[in-house]
């Protein structure tokens, strides 16, 4: 079972998209293990996006990410990392397919509503950045077995 890190960005909070974004992840069958509202600082953004710190747009990205509170979350499921990437859609909402969160709800690459981990390795790093092990709620859901091909096993 994989865990992935998802963060609703300041535009998602301000545009009242929290419920809709969480609903998409729940509908897919992913299970919410933890949630935390917080205000990021520049250091948080540098740690979340180490591959982007040298980009010309990075100062704008920092300004955007610290502009308001965000909602950090941990989600669990079979193949959760890739499944969540696909639910979000391409980085640039102009290119994201209709039916994806970014494709349906956003217009600008600099305001694309939500972040999620791009690999299992990065998901572990990103979860560690924002959550302590004691904050991750492992639990069974009675409906969870019906996400499997052989629920009785």
Which are the catalytic amino acids?
115
Q: Is 112 in the site for ligand DAT (CB under 6 A)?
A: yes
Nearest-approach distance from CB 136 to Mg ion, in angstroms: 21
CA distance 146 to 124: 26
Degrees, nearest 5: CA angle 25-108-66: 75
Nearest-approach distance from CB 38 to ligand DAT, in angstroms: 18
Q: Which of 13, 32, 82, 109 is the binder for ligand DAT (CB under 6 A)? A: 109
- Tokens representing residue 36 in the block: 């935390």
Report helix angle 80-88 to 18-28, nearest 10. Answer: 130
Q: Is 147 in the site for ligand DAT (CB under 6 A)?
A: no
Nearest-approach distance from CB 49 to ligand DAT, in angstroms: 6
Say if CB 45 and CB 66 are below 8 A apart: yes
Residue numbers at the binding site for Mg ion (CB under 5 A): 118
């Amino acid at each position: 079972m994989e865990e992935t890190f998802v963060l609703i960005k300041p535009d998602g909070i301000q545009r009242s998209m929290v419920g809709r974004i969480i609903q998409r992840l729940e509908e897919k069958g992913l299970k919410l293990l933890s949630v935390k509202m917080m205000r990021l600082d520049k250091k948080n953004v540098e740690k979340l996006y180490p591959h982007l710190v040298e980009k010309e747009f990075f100062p704008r990205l920092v300004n955007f990410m610290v502009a308001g509170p965000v909602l950090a979350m941990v989600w669990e499921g079979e193949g959760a990392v890739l499944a969540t990437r696909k639910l979000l859609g391409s980085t640039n909402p102009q290119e994201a397919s209709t039916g994806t969160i970014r494709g349906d709800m956003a217009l600008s690459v600099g305001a694309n509503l939500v972040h999620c981990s791009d690999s299992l390795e990065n998901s572990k790093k990103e979860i560690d950045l924002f959550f302590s092990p004691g904050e991750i709620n492992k639990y069974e859901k009675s409906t969870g077995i019906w996400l499997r091909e052989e629920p009785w096993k």
